[in-house]
Amino acid sequence: MSIRAKGAGIAIMVAIAAVWLTNDLRRAALAPRGFHIDPGDDRMVVHGRALYVGHCAACHGQQLEGQANWRERRADGRLPAPPHDESGHTWHHPDAVLFDITRNGMVPGRTAPEGYESDMPAYAGILSDEEIIAVLAYIKSTWPPDVLELQQEVNRQAWQSGSP
């Protein structure tokens, strides 16, 4: 094979890798921005409940109640898992942030304060993006209408500010 052919082959491989990486980064960074998790989608809610029971309930509770004393740091400095019902702070976050936390875990400087340590695992590679959205649809489906309305306002403010 000539040097020119090898060079062309390498250039094509680099271009393919660049397109793949760009698309992957775009999906990770932009897919959640401005999207809406629909707690009224019955199919997603039913699927999300089953996924929640299998992947989330051990820490966040069967009834989304969280762990006891979830606002108080444990001896290791970490906070217990918070509730996802209306008594917690989940609804204080836009959908894109909830998606990011579930997909990527609590990332200091991104979804958590710098230096923050958490037991929240990243579910990328465990759950698909659609499955994460289903879990979040289930969680949101349990909130009363006034909390859903407040969380939708959080979404609107995030979209208007251009943040996730």
Q: What is the pTM of this model?
A: 0.78
Residues 49, 12, single domain; the answer is: no
CA distance 126 to 98: 16
- CATH value at residue 119: 1.10.760.10
Q: Which of 144, 35, 40, 41 is nearest to 98 (CA)?
A: 35
Assign residue 85 a region (left: φ > 0; alpha: ψ between -120 and 50; beta: otherwise).
Answer: beta
Q: What is the pLDDT of residues 66-116, one digit of tens each?
A: 999 999 999 999 999 999 999 999 999 999 999 999 999 999 988 889 999
Residues 62, 22, single domain; the answer is: no
AA identity, residue 23: N
Which domain range does residue 79 map to? 36-161
